[in-house]
Structure 1
Amino acid sequence: MFTVSESEAEAIRRAFHERGEWAAVVELRRLFPVFSNNPEALRCVRAIAGWSPLPEAAAPPAEKVTALRRRKPADPR
């Protein structure tokens, strides 16, 4: 298991789309030297190439803030 940052994934996707999957394998193995066999690296490249960047997070809805008020004293009956 390994973690791929968005910039690393973008470099792998760019190599995949511009020069092909084997160029992306070379890029993956350059970034992650732990890969010793090409079939496993190719499987990971195909998975990474299929990713799409995460959408921008939507801003949370603005909440109406009301001022706090003191409680009225209890009616001592």
Structure 2
Amino acid sequence: MFTVSESEAETIRRAFHDRGEWSAVVELRRLFPVFANNPEALRCVRAIAGWQPLPAPAAAPPKVTQLRRRKPAEPQP
């Protein structure tokens, strides 16, 4: 298991889309020398290349104000 920062993932995705998956494997192995074999690195590259950015957080819900009862009308003389 390893952790990939957003900048590392972007570097791998850019290599994948610009130069192909084997170039992305080279980038992954450069960033993470722990990978000893190419098939495992290729599997990770394909997973990283398929990542989608997280959606932006939803806007805060509108503030709800409690309704107040009307004052009863005063009788007219």
What is the number of residues matched between the two proteins? Answer: 66
Q: Normalised by the size of structure 2, how large is the TM-score?
A: 0.76
- AA partner of residue 39 (structure 1): P
Larger radius of gyration: 2
Backbone CA RMSD of aligned residues? 1.4
Regions of 4+ moved over 3 Å: none
**In structure 1, what is the equivalent of residue 55 of structure 2?**
55
Where structure 2 has 5 or more consecutive residues not aligned to the other structure, the ranges are 67-77
Q: Does 1:2 align with 2:21?
A: no
**In structure 2, what is the equivalent of residue 30 of structure 1?**
30
- AA partner of residue 56 (structure 1): A
Q: Normalised by the size of structure 1, how large is the TM-score?
A: 0.76
- State how far apart, in whole Å, the 2-side matches of 1:62 and 1:36 are: 53
